[in-house]
Amino acid sequence: MAGTSKLQANKEIALDFLKLVIVGQIDEAYKKYVDLTGQHHNVYYPAQFKALKQGMIENHGQFPDKQFMVKHVLAEGNIVAVHSNIVLKPGEPGIAAVHIFRIDAGRIVEMWDIGQPVPVDSPNKAGAF
């Protein structure tokens, strides 16, 4: 049972981190959950979490009303994956995103994120979700 509770705790850390970031509480999200000595793998920023944090602050300034809709959360060991729809502007289909976290002792020590714009006229009628 302890393994299950650890997986659930890791899921909650990943979800709360993302929810805080989406609403602009980025400093709080990093203070609560990120080990700043860790690394991320977003190809648009240097590998330090400090650089990614600044990018998140800038993104929130550009899209303060973005929406975050969780579709799936998977966990195995110390890895959590969150599949979501992020809508930057109301009325747009948004981005299909996957955030993958490696969590150690309640802190995010490594993070990957990938996203794909959701096309308005996709030939796949099942959609991205």
pLDDT of residue 68: 96
pTM of the predicted structure, to 2 decimals: 0.93
pLDDT of residue 105: 96
Compute φ and ψ for 112, nearest 5 degrees.
-125, 150
For the stretch 9-12, contacts whose Cβ atoms lie closer than 8 Å and that sit 24 or more positions apart, written own/partner, are 9/106, 10/75, 10/78, 10/80, 10/101, 10/103, 11/73, 11/75, 11/80
pLDDT of residue 2: 58
CATH number at residue 29: 3.10.450.50
* Domain-located, residue 9: yes
Domain that holds residue 48: 2-117
pLDDT of residue 1: 46
In the chain (129 residues long), the average pLDDT of successive 10-residue segments reads 82 98 98 97 93 96 96 98 96 96 98 95 90
* Domain-located, residue 93: yes
How many structural domains comprise the chain?
Answer: 1
* Domain-located, residue 76: yes
* Domain-located, residue 84: yes
pLDDT of residue 4: 73
